[in-house]
Structure 1
Amino acid sequence: MDASRACSPVSTHVLNTCDGLPAARMALSLHKVNTNMMIWNLISIGSTDDNGRCAGLVSKEAFSPGMYKLRFEAGQYWESLGQNSLYPYIEVVFTVTDPEQHLHLPLLLTRSSYSTYRGQ
């Protein structure tokens, strides 16, 4: 991974708590709301690695105050394991007031529930 992706101000770690494993190869995307039109603009797409982590979603230069969302393609992930899920996708919406702070947003999921929090 290059240095610009490694120091992204937004990262996530997805854990499959049903099986006690990282959620590897889960597709996800980062979006920012356009407040003038109230629509979401795609910033980047990514995928979790074998450890369930995805770090390089946005550069420091492109990160500014505003409302963002991480969209996790949970249904596709569970289908890849031959299982069904209640949630086809999970969107975590968050507000950035200080773009100098790092935001780590883990996601803990099962086929019928999920939880998220601000991590370190």
Structure 2
Amino acid sequence: MGKLTTHVLDTMNGCPAAGMAVALWRVAPDGSARCLQSLVLDSDGRASGPLLEGEGLQPGRYRLSFEVGAYFRARGVTLPEPPFLDTVPLDFGLADPGAHYHVPLLVSPWSYSTYRGS
């Protein structure tokens, strides 16, 4: 059964990004996007369950929006205005509804990276 999961690691502090706000969007062919859900990451920097699974996981374009600036401000990090990174959008495609897609984010106030995890 296919599913979509995510987690975030705070590379500035060397810990999971507990409390970071995240939104999942479905992106239409014309570029418009519809929010499917908003959530806050748990103490392990993960969504409490799959973002999509089973019949809810449909092939197409999606976006995860991570509220990086708000997260680091809440941790007491002094950021410039505007911050170098504020909302980090990750656009990706899901082709196989039977596969597990894991989208991790490694982030600091000045950089991020992602990959397709397992």
TM-score (norm. length: structure 1): 0.87
Are 2:88 and 1:90 equivalent residues in the alignment? yes
Are 2:10 and 1:16 equivalent residues in the alignment? yes
Could you tell me which residue of structure 2 aligns to residue 109 of structure 1? 107
Deviation at 1:19, TM superposition (A): 1.0
Q: Which amino acid aligns with 1:110?
A: S
Q: What do you get for the CA RMSD once the two structures are aligned?
A: 1.5
Unpaired runs of 5+ residues, structure 1, are 1-6
TM-score (norm. length: structure 2): 0.88
Q: Count residues with an aligned counterpart.
A: 113
Runs of 4+ in 1 over 4 A off after TM superposition: none
Deviation at 1:23, TM superposition (A): 0.4
**CA contact under 8 A between 1:31 and 1:68: conserved in structure 2?**
yes
Higher RCO (CA-CA < 8 Å; seq separation 6+):
2
Question: Residue 18 of structure 2: SS of its match in structure 1?
Answer: coil
Could you tell me which residue of structure 2 aligns to residue 4 of structure 1? none
Deviation at 1:58, TM superposition (A): 2.2
Instruction: Tell me which moved more, 67-76 or 51-60.
Output: 51-60
Could you tell me which residue of structure 1 aligns to residue 43 of structure 2? 50
In terms of fraction of residues, the more strand-rich structure is 2
Question: Counterparts of 1:77 and 1:8 in 2: how far apart (Å)?
Answer: 30
Unpaired runs of 5+ residues, structure 2, are none
